[in-house]
């Protein structure tokens, strides 16, 4: 897309005339022009491609490169299960929803198909031509059937007969054995047969589902591995011995395939009396949703792929022929093998801020000062320890906490259970509908209820996504509140993998706001006025729009004006239009957007003052930061919310201010590192593609994550 955009007369409320540096008035711009917006799903696909690109980065350890390749597979699975399924549903129901970009779902599906086919083919080429040969050079091999030695063939045969065959249920296809209902993303084989069986049947086709209880990647014993670590795929074992499943028949061909189904839940909370009970039923049906994609081995004959497509009601454009295993994500077993530290990122030990290093009483520390933690460089342990201390402290009366993604057997859950059993008033707002964590959250809710905690499932039709914990403690001067607010989930595992902020505070006004938000979640009543907190779906969007407009007013008045936003996604049209207006007014805007970005930067007369970068690296960039220069008195918020319609309009989210120059400078310094990154960053171009940055040859590269590891962890 050309960076020049033809200006035309805009509606009265689209944008006010803007002045350039010389004071001349520019023609109005139509901010509703669909050429100014990038399609949501196409932008998400671009993010997945950037993840795949990491598999080619020679500076990244080999097993980590494999991991990126497998994360691409996992991301694409979810992309088809949710996003593609949603578009297909709109087309099927003749209820097409067209966003600001103006692209209809049918056209979007065609564009997605073209890009996805090209990238998945590229993924397998990277695996076969780069990753697997390099793994083999380090003694890690996935041994193909054609490469098995005599000893390995004997071992595979024994393993198949002892461990695999007893669990396999081959299904011959005939009028009394119709095509089976296959589970979402399960490994299956279509087998061509010749001959007549004991009952006189000669349909010629059978389906062999691979047992889900068996591993897909099986290590060979050292004594037959000829040095190094040899693995064999379950699919290779079944291929080699499939004839044993059909005695007396001739096997003409055996080909693996995998079906991806719609995995989005269709539960309407308005129509159910017991959300938890209804959700349990929906989780089962998720495994058998409508078909959206068929993956087959690339040597499968056309007549068989055509047969499978007809069975699943799919078209040729939804067929993906792959040169390798159809279930690549199962190779994580190799990627996470701890026996190869030299092929993985070096370990590090999260640090603690000076105020917490020798603290025995966290309430004393937080009572004196706010504590800001940047995970994973700084430990998540203080958050868990504060909750543990609260559970044991006889002076603590109540604990309230939101839980979005938290394992039922986590340290957080243990502490809440201990607190409830100790007689504390424990209230947990558990969001059951956190996608793909529903089952875990149901277990968590059940465990907390059994311990005596009050469990609330949030608000009908609105997900509770805010990350809040409130502790009320009786002290000499009465009840004192302590709060934790974060940008990430209460998940100790993710706290080692995701970059997120935590704020521990006893600020009276801020804790009062958190208390009011919990009151809104658990009780009923009008919207309560907040002193410091911005919260969706009530004040967050308007608050952000006001902050952006204020920065634009500073620029219009000739004052330096700057906005830095670090988020995971940007799609909300009102926010994008506000940023365009600010850019036209002269505000310098830097957006650090890990994933989806529907805004087009670099359009002359509209967004030439906006730069968008995405950073992908060792850690998942998950923190949300809103920074506004505010004429020399910065306004800084950390938040649970991305700038998407769902977050700002249909979720409970919280953005909390960071006050005090010292803490604000910490956040600003981290943002500056991201903006200086020329190693892990890619810049969004006006046409929607991303350009990977490269440091000048004569200068050392800057890498934000590596620099923060060095600064905070000394590694």
Q: Is 535-713 the same fold as 354-530?
A: yes
Query: Looking at residues 384-402, what average pLDDT do you find?
Result: 96
Instruction: Quick: pLDDT tens for 35-54.
Output: 999 999 999 999 999 999 99
% of the chain at pLDDT higher than 70: 91
Query: Does 594 count as an annotated binding residue?
Result: yes
Per-residue pLDDT band at 275 (split at 50, 70, 90): low
Structure tokens given for 529: 């006025």
Q: Which spans in 557-681 are helix H?
A: 573-585, 645-649, 661-676
pLDDT digits (tens, 9 = 90+) for 501-524: 999 999 999 999 999 999 999 887
Q: Is 421 annotated in some ligand binding site?
A: no
Confidence band of 406 (pLDDT split at 50, 70, 90): confident
pTM above 0.75, yes or no: yes
* Parallel/antiparallel/unpaired status of strands 140-142 and 319-322: unpaired
Q: What is the pLDDT of residues 155-205, one digit of tens each?
A: 999 999 999 999 999 999 886 678 999 999 999 999 999 887 766 667 789
- Residues constituting the chain: 715
For the cut 90, the answer to whether the pLDDT of residue 279 exceeds it is no
Q: Tell me which of 14-18, 419-423, 669-673 is least confident.
A: 14-18
* 333-342, 685-694, 696-705: the lowest-pLDDT one: 696-705
Q: What is the pLDDT of residue 278?
A: 53
**Per-residue pLDDT averaged across 584-601, rounded?**
97
Helix H or strand E encompassing 548: helix 540-556
- Of residues 185 and 264, which shows the higher confidence score? 185
83 is in an annotated binding site: no
Evaluate if residue 537 carries a pLDDT over 80. yes
- The SS3 assignment for 106 reads helix
At the topology level, CATH places domain 354-530 in Endonuclease; Chain A (3.30.870)
Q: Which residues contact 207 (CB under 8 A, 6 or more apart)?
A: 170, 171, 173, 179, 180, 182, 188, 189, 190, 191
CATH of 535-713, one of 3.40.50.20, 3.40.50.920, 3.30.870.10, 3.40.50.300: 3.30.870.10
Q: Among this protein's residues, is 95 annotated catalytic? A: no
Q: Catalytic pick from 465, 484, 554, 703?
A: 465
| Domain extents in the chain | 142-272+289-340, 354-530, 535-713
* Cα distance between residue 439 and residue 432, in whole Å: 8
Please give the span between the terminal C-alpha atoms of the chain, in angstroms, as a whole number: 42
Average pLDDT rounded to a whole number, residues 610-632: 97
Whole-angstrom Cα distance, residue 429 to residue 425? 13
CA 214 from centre of chain: 27
Query: What's the pLDDT at 281?
Result: 55
Supply the DSSP symbol for 12. T
What is the per-residue pLDDT for 431? 83
The overall average pLDDT reported for the chain is 90
**358 labelled binding-site residue:** no
- Cα separation of 215 and 187, whole Å? 11
Query: Which pairs from 388-395 meet CB under 8 Å and 24+ separation?
Result: 388/415, 388/418, 389/361, 389/362, 389/363, 390/415, 390/419, 390/424, 390/471, 390/473, 390/482, 391/415, 391/416, 391/418, 391/419, 391/422, 391/424, 392/418, 392/422, 393/363, 393/473, 395/473, 395/474, 395/475
Q: Which letter does DSSP use for residue 112 in this model?
A: H
Give the fold, CATH level 3, of 142-272+289-340: polyphosphate kinase like (3.30.1840)
């Amino acid at each position: 897309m050309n960076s020049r955009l033809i200006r035309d007369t805009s509606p009265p409320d689209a944008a006010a005339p803007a002045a350039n540096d010389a004071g001349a008035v520019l023609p109005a711009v139509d901010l509703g022009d669909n050429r100014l917006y990038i399609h949501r799903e196409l932008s998400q696909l671009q993010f997945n491609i950037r993840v795949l690109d990491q598999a080619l980065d020679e500076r990244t350890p080999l097993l980590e490169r494999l991991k990126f390749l497998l994360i691409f597979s996992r991301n694409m699975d979810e992309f088809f299960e949710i996003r593609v399924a949603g578009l297909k549903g709109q087309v099927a129901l003749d209820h097409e929803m067209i966003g600001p970009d103006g692209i209809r779902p049918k056209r979007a599906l065609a564009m997605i198909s073209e890009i996805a086919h090209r990238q998945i083919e590229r993924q397998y080429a990277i695996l076969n031509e780069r990753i697997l040969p390099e793994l083999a050079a380090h003694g890690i091999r996935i041994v193909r059937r054609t490469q098995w030695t005599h000893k390995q063939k004997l071992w595979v045969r024994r393993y198949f007969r002892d461990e695999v065959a007893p669990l396999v249920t081959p299904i011959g296809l005939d009028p009394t054995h119709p095509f089976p209902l296959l589970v979402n993303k399960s490994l299956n084989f279509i087998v061509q047969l010749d001959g007549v069986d004991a009952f006189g049947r000669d349909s010629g086709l059978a389906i062999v589902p691979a047992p889900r209880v068996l591993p897909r990647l099986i290590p060979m014993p050292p004594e037959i591995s000829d040095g190094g670590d040899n693995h064999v795929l379950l699919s290779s074992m079944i291929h080699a011995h499939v004839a044993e499943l059909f005695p007396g028949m001739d096997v003409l061909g055996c080909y693996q395939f995998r079906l991806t189904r719609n995995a989005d839940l269709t539960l309407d909370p308005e129509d159910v009396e017991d959300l938890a009970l209804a959700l349990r039923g929906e989780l089962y049906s998720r495994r058998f949703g409508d078909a959206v994609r068929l993956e087959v081995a690339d040597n499968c004959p056309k007549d068989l792929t055509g047969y499978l497509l007809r069975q699943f009601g799919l078209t040729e454009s939804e067929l993906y022929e792959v040169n390798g295993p159809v279930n690549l994500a199962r190779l994580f077993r190799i990627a996470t093998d701890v026996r190869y530290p030299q092929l993985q990122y070096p370990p590090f030990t999260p640090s603690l801020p000076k105020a917490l290093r020798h603290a025995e009483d966290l309430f004393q520390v937080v009572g004196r000062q706010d504590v800001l933690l940047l995970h994973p460089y700084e430990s998540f342990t203080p958050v868990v320890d504060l909750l543990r201390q609260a559970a044991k402290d006889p002076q603590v009366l109540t604990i309230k906490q939101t839980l979005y993604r938290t394992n039922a057997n986590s340290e957080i859950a243990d502490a809440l259970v201990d607190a409830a059993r100790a007689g504390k008033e424990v209230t947990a707002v558990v969001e059951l509908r956190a996608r793909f964590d529903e089952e875990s959250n149901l277990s968590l809710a059940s465990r907390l209820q059994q311990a005596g905690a009050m469990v609330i499932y949030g608000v009908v039709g609105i997900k509770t996504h805010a990350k809040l914990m409130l502790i009320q403690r009786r002290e000499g001067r009465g009840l004192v509140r302590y709060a934790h607010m974060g940008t990430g989930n209460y998940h100790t595992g993710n706290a080692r993998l995701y970059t997120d902020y935590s704020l521990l505070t006893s600020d009276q006004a801020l804790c009062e706001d958190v208390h009011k938000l919990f009151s809104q979640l658990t009780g009923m009543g009008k919207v309560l006025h907040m002193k410091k907190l911005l919260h969706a779906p009530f004040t967050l969007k308007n608050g952000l729009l006001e902050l952006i407009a204020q920065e634009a007013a500073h620029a219009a008045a000739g004052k330096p004006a700057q906005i830095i936003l670090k988020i995971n996604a940007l799609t909300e049209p009102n926010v994008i239009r506000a940023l365009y207006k600010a850019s036209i007014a002269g505000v310098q805007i830097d957006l650090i957007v890990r994933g989806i970005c529907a805004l087009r930067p670099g359009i002359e007369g509209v967004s030439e003052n906006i730069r968008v970068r995405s950073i992908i690296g060792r850690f998942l960039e998950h923190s949300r930061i809103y920074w506004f220069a505010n004429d020399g008195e910065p306004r800084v918020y950390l938040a649970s919310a991305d700038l998407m319609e769902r977050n700002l309009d249909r979720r409970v989210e919280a953005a909390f201010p960071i006050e005090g120059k010292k803490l604000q400078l910490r956040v600003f310094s981290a943002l500056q590192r991201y903006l200086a990154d020329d190693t892990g960053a890619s810049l969004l171009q006006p046409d929607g593609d991303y350009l990977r940055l490269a440091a000048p040859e004569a200068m050392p590269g800057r890498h934000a994550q590596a620099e923060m590891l060095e600064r905070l962890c000394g590694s």
